[in-house]
Amino acid sequence: MDSMASTVREAFDAFAPHMRRRPDVEAHDLVAADASDRLILESAGLDHPEPARETTPAIGPPERRIPATSTTTAPVARVVVVGDRYGALTLPLAAANFRVHVHQDALTGERAARLNAVAVGLVQASDVASIVVPGVSWHPLDGDLFAGATLVLMQLPRSLGALDEIAGLIAAHADPAVRVVAGGRVKHMAPAMNGVLARHFDTVTADRGVGKSRVLRASAPRTRVRPATERPGPSARPAHPGALTWPRTERDEATGLTICAHGAAFAGAGVDIGTRLLLSVLDQAPDASRVIDLGCGTGILAVSYARAHPDARVIATDQSAAAVASATATAIANGVAAGSGSAPHPVRGGPPGVTVVRDDALGTQSDASADLIMLNPPFHSGAAVTARIAPRLFADAARVLRPGGELWCVWNSHLRYRPQLEASVGATRQIVRDPKFTVTASVR
């Protein structure tokens, strides 16, 4: 395949049919690139810089706000991309010789982007962890990602909290002339997104919808980052009125836990009702020394078990960078942190307490290495509802459990996972059930 397209748009059109979602779930109706990716790239004006245009003063609500000054699209050598799902934004930019700094929350999305770089001919095939895409680097979601950036392209996140955290970092750390081009499928967008952007930018506009997709634009940051010597700590007041600080921290009185959550973390700084049901019977779980909280989110199950079993070695694992950062902060806040990071941390050995790992399911964990696994399986892949995630997690749990080990799982009762648990893991018994959720224990 000829990967040396002359424009970003030509590269997207050449690459999109060959892109896949793997190692994320795949199905005929789950695509790796769609019209919203193409629209974001086109709207950035990188192929044909827009001339200065006449504008009128900003009036009205944020979703109708018009820029107050004339704008031009300056040449951009370095682009920041946030929320790219499987490389559909990043790889066309790389093919057009832009330097791209990328943050992808999902580890599967990052790995898919690397694999897709091979599929479209940008790089040679190798082990996924060793694939280096020329001009592309992956980064955590922090101020360094946006430092000095003049253009940020973004797939809009599902969570308004995630959008607020991202927008706040851009406004505080990017160049004052930064342009933000954020898009998505119209059915997944909400007017509240304009209001979130308006907390951080003086100029917010919404383009007309194209092909069931739409782009929001933001510019003129409302805050500037303080010098390093004056930079506030996590507990400092927001930089401007109405801003939120991330991670957010709340105390749950029912459990006594202090819960920390970044914007993209599932359920935020609260306890979702499925997890709360599992917590209500967690004292009935085995007294285990090697424990895994699979798909840990903010780390509530891992931290709760570690508090009740101080000698246990607990791995909290999730593919989401926001979840890993949240669970790490939650473990620290509750005094049970043992370690964290993206490198493999086998459940055998290591210090007692909670170690947080970013992992695709249980890919870094050894066979037959855990006594107990706790799981509240997701049934969404991005915005898509899918039943394909849980069976994969059940199979991985079966591999990692030692003989006689147990998988404690909470699931929406209508999903009827029990036959799958029986087939994948072993004999399964019901622990508790309420009108919405069921908790089961499966013995390997």
Average pLDDT of the residues of the chain: 87
pLDDT score of 227 more than 90: no
For the chain, the domains span 8-230, 248-443
The CA distance from 63 to 66, in Å, is 9
Domain 8-230 classification at class level: alpha beta
pTM score, whole prediction: 0.86
Dig out the tokens for 122 from the structure: 């940008």
Which residues, including other chains, have CB under 8 Å from residue 302's CB and lie 6 or more apart?
291, 293, 296, 314, 315, 316, 327, 331, 354, 356, 374
Task: Report the distance separating Cα 338 and Cα 121, nearest Å.
Answer: 42
Alpha carbon 56 to chain centroid, angstroms: 37
Structure tokens at 190: 């909400």
As a 3-state breakdown, the chain gives helix, strand, coil percent values, each rounded to 5, of 30, 25, 45
Of 225-229, 254-258, 337-341, 361-365, give the lowest mean pLDDT range: 225-229
Domains 8-230 and 248-443 in one fold = yes
The CATH number assigned to the domain with range 248-443 reads: 3.40.50.150
Where is pLDDT greater, at 111 or 344? 111
Rounded Cα distance, 270 and 435, in Å: 21
Average pLDDT over residues 127-155: 95
Distance of CA 142 to the CA centre of its chain: 13
Within 68-159, where are the H helices?
90-95, 107-119, 143-146
The residues, ordered by sequence, that sit 6+ positions from 253 with a Cβ below 8 Å of its Cβ are: none
Q: If you search the block for the tokens 């087939």, which residue do you land on?
A: 423
Closest by Cα among 79, 440, 60, 88 to 284: 440
Percentage of the chain lying above the pLDDT 90 cut: 77
C-alpha to C-alpha distance for 314 and 340, rounded to whole angstroms: 11
Kind of pairing between the strands at 257-261 and 248-252 = antiparallel
Mean of pLDDT values over 402-407: 98
Give the pLDDT band (50/70/90) at residue 55.
Answer: very low
